[in-house]
C-alpha cells in the first residue's frame, strides 16, 4: 500500500509540474514586446507569383515604438542576414510595422493570432487563405 501511495504521489507531481505558464495561451493584449528578441520563420505570400517565400528572421523590439529585424531566405546558409530598422505601434491584437524605406518586407498590419509568453504567431490577413505568417519564439 505504501508503494502504491508513493507511485501515485510521484505521478501527481509529474502531471502538475509538467506544464509551464510560458506554454499557456495568453491574451494578445498581454504580450510584452518591449526590449525582447524573437526568432523564427516568415512565410511571405507573394501576390505577383501567387506563391509563398520562406525566410529566417530575428526581430528585436528595442522599445515600444520600434526596433530592427534581420532577415534572409530560408535554407541559404551562405547568405548573410539583411538588417532593417522599423517603427511600430501596438494596439490590442494588432502590431503595425512601418518604416521610412521602400520595400520593407514586414511593413503592414499584423494580427496576433496565437500568443504565449514565449511564442507568437502573427498574420497579415487572418481571414484569407493568402496571408503572410510570422511564427516566432522568444529568445530574450
Asked if residue 95 lies in contact with residue 69, where contact means CB atoms within 8 angstroms, the answer is no
How many domains does one find in the chain?
Answer: 1
Look up residue 126 and give its DSSP letter: T
Res. 37 pLDDT band, cuts 50 70 90? very high
Q: Is the pTM for the entire model greater than 0.85?
A: no
Q: 9 lies in a domain?
A: no
Nearest to 42 by CA among 111, 117, 121, 100: 121
pLDDT score, position 3: 56
Residue bearing cell 501527481: 12
Q: Among 125, 92, 127, which Cα is nearest to 109's?
A: 125
CATH, residue 95? 2.40.128
Q: Which residues contact 27 (CB under 8 A, 6 or more apart)?
A: 115
pLDDT at residue 115, as a whole number: 95
Res. 12: pLDDT tops 50: no
Domain residue limits at 120: 26-138
Q: Which of 68, 43, 66 is closest to 125 using CA atoms?
A: 43
User: What nine digits make up the cell of 127?
Assistant: 481571414
Q: What is the pLDDT of residue 17?
A: 52
Query: For 44-75, what is each residue's pLDDT tens digit?
Result: 998 889 999 999 999 999 999 999 999 999 98
Query: Does residue 125 belong to any structural domain of this protein?
Result: yes
Amino acid at each position: 500500500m505504501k508503494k502504491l501511495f508513493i507511485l501515485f504521489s510521484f505521478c501527481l507531481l509529474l502531471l502538475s509540474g509538467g506544464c509551464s505558464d510560458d506554454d499557456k495561451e495568453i491574451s494578445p493584449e498581454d504580450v510584452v514586446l518591449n526590449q525582447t528578441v524573437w526568432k523564427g520563420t516568415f512565410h511571405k505570400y507573394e501576390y505577383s507569383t501567387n506563391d509563398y517565400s520562406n525566410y529566417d528572421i530575428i526581430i528585436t523590439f528595442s522599445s515600444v515604438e520600434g526596433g530592427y529585424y534581420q532577415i534572409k531566405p530560408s535554407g541559404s546558409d551562405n547568405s548573410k542576414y539583411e538588417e532593417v530598422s522599423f517603427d511600430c505601434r501596438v494596439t490590442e491584437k494588432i502590431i503595425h510595422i512601418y518604416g521610412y524605406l521602400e520595400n520593407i518586407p514586414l511593413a503592414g498590419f499584423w494580427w496576433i493570432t496565437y500568443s504565449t509568453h514565449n511564442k507568437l504567431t502573427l498574420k497579415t490577413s487572418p481571414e484569407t487563405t493568402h496571408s503572410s505568417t510570422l511564427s516566432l519564439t522568444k529568445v530574450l
